[in-house]
Structures are given as structure tokens and as C-alpha cells.
């Protein structure tokens, strides 16, 4: 905590905090994708994985709280740095002035970040808190349970995913949100190389790497709602 307060006092320190919390969020997003891709291995795999996570209360709550702390740190440093930058900018170039040589992603970081935040709230209501009104299917995912060997019940995450993404508007909203998330993450990754002084490769090389990883992430996440919309899982979940 002391280290965080000391870093927070300088702009460079805040940049480090933003970069480090960004790395933690990247790790989560990659881990979550690998976990979710198990849907393609069938109900046993993804349900077994979800059950394993749920049964480790310490691990689950530790990572939930850690994730929340990283999100708060990331957003707070982003807001504070953008305020400082605005205050330090001496000339107002006016609304009509062309943006400097900034990429589309860098100009829309705040906006894509905000939309991603809304998406995460929606996503939590959809699959974690299981609020029936947001799945647009008129079904209650809480009733999707499967029996374990000891006769206890555990959520049928496979069924939730297959039924959830059969709705075109829901699938489309995920594809759009994940697209913005990947744009945000890939620009964040290039900035992080800069903030942490990882400048062994040229700027173009770093940007190209960040775009490539962002694209892979996008394709991985999108493959789930798109395949389900195209009929994946219909033999298992009628
Ligand atoms: C196609 C894309 C995605 C799918 C299919 C998906 C699927 C899921 C599912 C099924 C759960 C509930 C797991 C359970 O209760 O066992 C979940 C939880 C969650 N997802 Fe996703 N997700 C996707 C994208 C994302 C993205 C892009 C993010 C973040 C940027 C994200 C963040 C989370 C979080 C924070 C949770 C809550 C985990 C917890 O219960 O603590 N998800 N996701």
C-alpha cells in the first residue's frame, strides 16, 4: 500500500501504476478467454472448469477482489493522468483542429474504456448475477443446474452460454464490446511498453505486436458468440 501511495504522488509513478494494473487486467482477459474456449471441448469440460473455480472460495474471492482493485487503480490513474495532461496543455486548439498523429485507438481510449465498463456490468448481470431480464430470452439461467455425483447441484454454464448467445442482439453486443475492448487493450499494450521503458524494438514493431495480440484476442472471444449463433451446441442443448 505504501509503495502505491508513493508511486501515486508523481506522474511517472501513476504511469507505472496504470501499466502494472493494465498487465494484471491483460492476464485476466487471456486467462478468461482460455477458460471460456473450453466450451468447444463440450459441456463436461467447461462445466468442470466452472465448478472447480466456484469450489475454491478463497481463490475465487481473492481473484475477484484483486481484479476489482486493479480496475479501480487503472481507472483512477487514467482519470488523474488525463486531468494532469489537460491542465498542462497551454493552447486550446479548438474543436475544428485536426488531431495530431494519433491512432484511432489512442483518440478513443476514454470512450472505449467507458463502453467496456458498461459491458462488464452487463456481462456480470448476464452470467454471474444471472438477472433474467438482461438475457432477452425470457428464461431464468438460475434454473440451469446439473447434478453432481453426490446429488448436489452446480450451475450448467455450458447451457447458459449456448442459450445466452442464441439471441442475435446479445451475441452482437458481445462482439461489439469485445472489439472495443481489444482496441483498448492493444493501444494500452503499446503505451505500456513505453511507460515501462521496454523500447528495445522500434515503435512500429511494438505497435504491430500489440495489434496482433489484440486481434488474436478479438478472434478468440468472438468465436464463442458467433459459433453459437451459427448453431454450435444445438445437438446438446435443444
Ligand atoms: C465471448 C466473451 C465472453 C464469454 C463467453 C464470457 C463468459 C463468462 C461466463 C460464462 C461467466 C460466468 C462464469 C461462472 O459463473 O461460472 C463469466 C464471468 C465473468 N466474466 Fe466473462 N465472458 C466473456 C467476455 C468477458 C470479458 C471480455 C471480460 C472482461 C473484460 C469478462 C469478465 C468477466 C468477469 C469479471 C466475470 C466474473 C467472474 C466471477 O464470477 O468472479 N468476460 N464470463
Q: Rounded CA gap, 184 and 174, in Å?
A: 15
C-alpha 174/C-alpha 32 separation (Å) is 15
- The predicted pLDDT at position 106 comes to 65
Q: Is the CB of 170 under 6 A from ligand 1?
A: no
Residue 149, SS3 per DSSP: coil
Rounded to the nearest whole angstrom, what is the distance from the C-alpha of residue 22 to the centroid of ligand 1? 18
**What average pLDDT does range 197-224 have in this prediction?**
94
CA of 36 to the centre of ligand 1 (A): 8
Residue 134 phi, psi (nearest 5): -90, -10
Using alpha carbons only, give the angle 59, 29, 79 rounded to the nearest 5 degrees. 100
Which of 139, 109, 112 lies closest to 126, judged by CA? 139
- Determine the pLDDT at residue 99: 52
Is 181 close to ligand 1, i.e. is its CB under 6 Å away?
yes
- Span 2-87+103-229: which CATH code? 1.20.1300
pLDDT value of position 109: 83
pLDDT tens-digit series, residues 157-179: 999 999 999 999 999 999 999 99
Q: How far is the CA of 32 from the centre of ligand 1 (A)?
A: 7
Nearest CA to ligand 1 atom 1: 221
**What pLDDT score does 224 carry?**
98
Mean pLDDT value across residues 202-226: 96
Domain extents for the chain? 2-87+103-229
Q: Which tens digit of pLDDT belongs to each residue from 51-99?
A: 999 999 999 999 999 999 999 999 999 889 888 887 876 655 555 544 5
Q: What's the 95 CA to ligand 1 centre distance in angstroms?
A: 38
User: Does the beta carbon of 117 sit less than 6 angstroms from any atom of ligand 1?
Assistant: no
Ligand 1 atom, smallest distance to 222 CA: 1
Amino acid at each position: 500500500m505504501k509503495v502505491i501511495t508513493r508511486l501515486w504522488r508523481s506522474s511517472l509513478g501513476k504511469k507505472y501504476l496504470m501499466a502494472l494494473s493494465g498487465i494484471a487486467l491483460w492476464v485476466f482477459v487471456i486467462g478468461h478467454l482460455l477458460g471460456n474456449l473450453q466450451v468447444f471441448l463440450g459441456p463436461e469440460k467447461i462445466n468442470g472448469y466452472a465448478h472447480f473455480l466456484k469450489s475454491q472460495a478463497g481463490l475465487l474471492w481473492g481473484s475477484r477482489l484483486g481484479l476489482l482493485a486493479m480496475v479501480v487503480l487503472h481507472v483512477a490513474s487514467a482519470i488523474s493522468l488525463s486531468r494532469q495532461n489537460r491542465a498542462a496543455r497551454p493552447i486550446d486548439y479548438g474543436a475544428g483542429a485536426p488531431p495530431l498523429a494519433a491512432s484511432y485507438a489512442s483518440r478513443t481510449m476514454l470512450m472505449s474504456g467507458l463502453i467496456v465498463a458498461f459491458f462488464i456490468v452487463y456481462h456480470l448481470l448476464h452470467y454471474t448475477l444471472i438477472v433474467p431480464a438482461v438475457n432477452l430470452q425470457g428464461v431464468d439461467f438460475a434454473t440451469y443446474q446439473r447434478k453432481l455425483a453426490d446429488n448436489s447441484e452446480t450451475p450448467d454454464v455450458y447451457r447458459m452460454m449456448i442459450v445466452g448467445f442464441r439471441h442475435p442482439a446479445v451475441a452482437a453486443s458481445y462482439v461489439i464490446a469485445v472489439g472495443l475492448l481489444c482496441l483498448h487493450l492493444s493501444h494500452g499494450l503499446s503505451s505500456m511498453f513505453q511507460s515501462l521503458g521496454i523500447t528495445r524494438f522500434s515503435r512500429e514493431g511494438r505497435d504491430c505486436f500489440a495489434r496482433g495480440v489484440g486481434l488474436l484476442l478479438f478472434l478468440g472471444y468472438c468465436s464463442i458468440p458467433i459459433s453459437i449463433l451459427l448453431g454450435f451446441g444445438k445437438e446438446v442443448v435443444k
